[in-house]
Structures are given as structure tokens and as C-alpha cells.
Amino acid sequence: MNLEQYSTEASPDFMEYTFYSDGPKGTIKKVVRFTKAHFLTFIYYNLGFGDWNDNLNKIDDFVVSNNQDAERVLATVAATVIGFTNQYPDALVYAEGSTRSRTRRYQMGMNKYWKNIGSIFEVYVLVENEGFKPFERNRNYIAFVVKRKFSNFNQ
Amino acid sequence: MKPDDKKNAKVFNPKIVVNKNMKDHSDDPFFAKKAEASKKTIEKYGLPKQLLTSKK
């Protein structure tokens, strides 16, 4: 079984991805970007994800597009993390929802597909006032960090 | 990698095509703002030590 996802375009350096959500609210361009950042001597990549707003000519991650395809969109974003880490297998990817409800949505996706996600990634979740902990189902968190367990599906 | 892991991983098999002419959004303030916010959180909590030392 493959999860339904949107076809995605990547930039040549695999740092940025775009795809189009299609639903009752029309076609909405989604942009995912992995931004390189530093903490002490370590490098990590922040996963940024939002809707392209043609009127404002900028990304907007607070908009709730409500295109009734949340699971397909999340599966597509998850696929971009795989696409990115295929190219940068040692990368640490940090992700935090722009709102609590969005983080909660990520959490639900992680709970539902943990068997699959946990096969690909080491996952640590950030629990408020506690710090990073190994992922546990049904625990609330404010962000997460993932790292690939292996670099290629063909291994 | 265990055969079951391989099967589980394939659920997310990405459908990604490289587009050399793709519009670049790296200058969008949104991404800079998000990266800055992540730095503040990580400065407070650090990164998971297990991921900094684990070998693939």
C-alpha cells in the first residue's frame, strides 16, 4: 500500500519542494523548504511549510485552506522529508507547527503511521518543559526532530 | 534493514521530480522567520543528544 500523495517538484538542490493541493477550495500551491540552521557546532534543517498566497505574493502558514485533503497533504510533506533525506541522509530535520492545532495534526499523522515512520526515521519529540524524548504514541509535543535510519529504500 | 521495515518505508515512497526552473522561495521572510523561531526553541532545549551521536 502506498499512501495517496501529490506529485511534487523539487529544486535541483532538493532544499525546496512544491505541490498543488486539489479540493473543493480549488487548487492551492504548497511550498516546503528545508532551511539550514546552526546550533553550537551542529547543523540542522528547519522544515517550513505553507501555502503560496498569490495576492500577497508570499508564503502564508496561518491560512487554513480546508481543502479536505489534509491526510494527502501530510503524506506529501512526509514524502518531501524522505526526498530531502535521500540527498542529505545525515541531516537532522526539525519541524514545529505554526499553531497548536497544526502541531496536533502532525501528531495525529505520526501516531497513525508510526509503524511506517518509525521504520524510516529516528524520531524525538519536544515535550514542553521536559525537552526532547523518544517518540511515544499519544503524547503531546510542540516540535519534533527526525534523522534517517538508513539512506536508501534499496538497501 | 529488515524486510518489514523496507515494506513499511515504501508507504511513503516519494513521487518527486526535479524542476530546474522551479521558483525559488528561499528569500521569503516566512522561511527565515520559521528558522529563527526554531533556533530560539533549540537554544532553550538543545537537540536530542542521541541523534547527535548515533551512527547510521
**Number of neighbours of residue B55 by Cβ within 10 angstroms:** 3
B6, B28, B38 member nearest A94 (Cβ): B38
Query: What's chain A's length in residues?
Result: 155
Interface probe with A: pick from B31, B39, B41, most Cβ of A within 10 Å: B31
Distances (CA, A) of A43 to A40, B35, B47: 8, 12, 10
Q: Which of B27, B38, B43 is the mutation pick for testing A, counting most A CBs within 10 A?
A: B38
- Asked if B8's CB is within 8 angstroms of A119's CB, the reply is yes
pLDDT at A98: 80
Global confidence as pTM = 0.90
Report the C-alpha gap between A93 and A44 in whole angstroms.
6
Amino acid making up residue B16: I
β-bridge pairing B16-18 and A8-10: parallel
Select from A43, A36, A42 the least CA-distant residue to A16.
A36
pLDDT in tens, A113-139: 888 889 899 999 999 889 999 999 888
Domain borders along chain A are: 9-148
* DSSP assignment string, A68-129: S-HHHHHHHHHHHHHHHHHHSTT--EEE--SSHHHHHHHHHHHHHTHHHHHHHEEEEEEETT
pLDDT tens profile B9-35: 666 777 899 999 999 999 999 999 999
Q: How far is A27 from chain B (nearest CA, A)?
A: 17
Q: Provide mean pLDDT across the span A52-64.
A: 83
Least confident of A84-98, A109-123, B4-18, B41-55: B4-18
Q: If you measure CA to CA, which chain B residue comes closest to A42?
A: B52
β-bridge mates for residue A39, sequence order: A42
Give the separation between CA A141 and CA A136, rounded to whole angstroms: 10
Contacts of A150 (CB under 8 A, 6+ apart): A89, A120, B1, B56
Determine the Cα angle at B11 with ends B6 and B15, to 5°: 110
Interface contact flag, B16 A17, Cβ < 8 Å:
yes
- Contacts across the A-B interface (CB distance below 8 Å): 168
